[in-house]
Structure 1
């Protein structure tokens, strides 16, 4: 997204196009494991409506195979881009030709574009996860949170810091089980202009009760025990309505944390919302010559993954 309030997603709506753009191109999401990914459904639905002749697939790439995989597809002229998920978000930053300033600030990427120049190919790393976080929360009505909490300290947590900054937050607490491994997030915050404090996991339950917004970047089921603790906590019972939760894990859904949050009357933003908003940015990056992905395209993407229409 180009704006955190989501207005960039609602330009004039293009009609269905004929397949005249980017004939016979390829794109994919890479990671391990990857079979659960809904990115192919999102992208292919959009490309069909936009008239872009692109086959977008999910490619299982083990960590030891990553460099060889990139070297191989660099030699294939039909590739336009990659969506990158765990565990490759940090490693690929060292295998691209260049990275955007945001990627340099975060140390992680989730998108690679291919630009062929003469006999070579230039790979550029981008991060659209930050826009995905900001867009998903903005769509829910969240503006300028004053008490923000992030669960988890990996690459998606770094993007969450950037997304909260886009929304106007000036600070965020990050809760992790091994604080020493997440100290780099304070440096990420300093580079972006948002104060980040890494906190021990034992304080997460209290943060859930007090925060305006919570972004869980944990993998599926990793927050299940926390959800049970929070549901039974006195702090949560005394607070009539919790704030807003964005749980980036979308399979299985709803998560235990999302269920507990909704039961308490809080606002739950599904991880599919973040996936949708970051995918729109990827489509723009992969195919800048194609029609702008407007509301009609967004809606077919929502249909493809069972998300509510805009």
Structure 2
């Protein structure tokens, strides 16, 4: 009898998640008919009970907001990357039922940039100070040779970002949001802000902008992404991050349960599934 393997994404709200489309496309591409991937609406209060009720058929979980920090006390092991940014988006179950947490957003950012030919930068800027901004700093700690500037809205957020930069060994300075348009002169800008937050900067794009990684995927392109692209910049979007972090999750889940993990996952099939989902009739509901 074929052993069944399960995985899922948890969060609240979760109906908009593209993760099921990506992972299911990966299973189909590799002929993994015994694998399934679902989504579950789970908030922080319900998380401990949900995890405790999982059976031996479970290979892994993807975590989105607001669970990336709430999951950490429930784990037996947390990777150094996830501990540094205090966010777990991946849980892998061992054969003995142990739970290991990781963060694939950080290497996903690095891999997405590398795919577009960006392996090292001499300086960078980050717009925003939330969980994704923390992952961006950790990614830049791996590829940036010089100073990183984080543009934030409050002194409290600035202090948090500076503390994280120090833990990561990053040369980091912070600046107020009123100066955020300056980021566009950087060799690489990573925007981690909500929809509409950077629209006003589109007219400020310089004649020769650096690369832009805007982590939004709907609506796409953002006004800032379109303006940068119009001036010839390398522009990456949220789907690039989503696909690359999902490929790394896919790899960990299947490796942990005897699947073909280690291949890096079927990137092309997962990207195509994400593009199709965003182009479909439900795309307007995805934010």
TM category (shorter chain) comes to 0.7 to 0.9
CA distance change for structure 1 residues 51 and 179 in 2, over 3 Å: closer, same or farther?
farther
| Partner Cα separation in structure 2 for residue 231 and residue 49 of structure 1 | 39
| Partner Cα separation in structure 2 for residue 98 and residue 248 of structure 1 | 28
Deviations 1:111-157 (A, max 9, x none): 1111242xxx2111101101111111111121321221111111211
- The residue aligned with 1:196 is 172
Please give the secondary structure, in 2, of the residue aligned with 1:88. coil
Which of 5, 18, 43 is the aligned partner of 1:62?
Answer: 43
Q: Cα distance, 1:295 vs. partner?
A: 8.3
| Partner Cα separation in structure 2 for residue 116 and residue 81 of structure 1 | 11
Please give the secondary structure, in 2, of the residue aligned with 1:266. coil
- The residue aligned with 1:13 is none
* Contact in 2 for aligned 1:36/1:251 (Cα 8 Å): no
CA distance change for structure 1 residues 295 and 93 in 2, over 3 Å: closer, same or farther?
closer
Which of 28, 39, 42 is the aligned partner of 2:8?
Answer: 28
Q: Cα distance, 1:297 vs. partner?
A: 2.1
Query: Which fold has the larger relative contact order, with Cα–Cα distance below 8 Å and residues 6 or more apart in sequence?
Result: 1
Unaligned runs of 5+ in 1: 1-18
Residues 1:164 and 2:143 aligned together: no
Q: CA RMSD in A?
A: 2.2
- The residue aligned with 1:270 is 237
CA distance change for structure 1 residues 199 and 95 in 2, over 3 Å: closer, same or farther?
farther
| Partner Cα separation in structure 2 for residue 89 and residue 222 of structure 1 | 24
Residues 1:144 and 2:120 aligned together: yes
Which of 194, 207, 225 is the aligned partner of 2:183?
Answer: 207
Which of 191, 195, 206 is the aligned partner of 1:216?
Answer: 191
| Partner Cα separation in structure 2 for residue 295 and residue 80 of structure 1 | 17
Q: Which runs of 4+ in 1 moved over 4 A?
A: 292-296
| Partner Cα separation in structure 1 for residue 264 and residue 248 of structure 2 | 14
Unaligned runs of 5+ in 2: 277-287
- The residue aligned with 1:301 is 270
Q: Normalising to structure 1: TM-score of the pair?
A: 0.81
Which of 217, 221, 227 is the aligned partner of 2:199?
Answer: 227
Q: Cα distance, 1:67 vs. partner?
A: 2.5
* Contact in 2 for aligned 1:280/1:293 (Cα 8 Å): no
Please give the secondary structure, in 1, of the residue aligned with 2:94. strand
Structure 1 residues 1-310: aligned runs within 5 Å: 23-52=3-32, 53-73=34-54, 76-117=55-96, 121-208=97-184, 210-219=185-194, 221-223=195-197, 226-228=198-200, 230-233=201-204, 236=205, 239-288=206-255, 289-292=258-261, 294=263, 297-306=266-275
* Contact in 1 for aligned 2:63/2:88 (Cα 8 Å): yes
CA distance change for structure 1 residues 169 and 130 in 2, over 3 Å: closer, same or farther?
farther
Count of equivalent residues? 273
Deviations 1:27-54 (A, max 9, x none): 1111222222211111111112223322
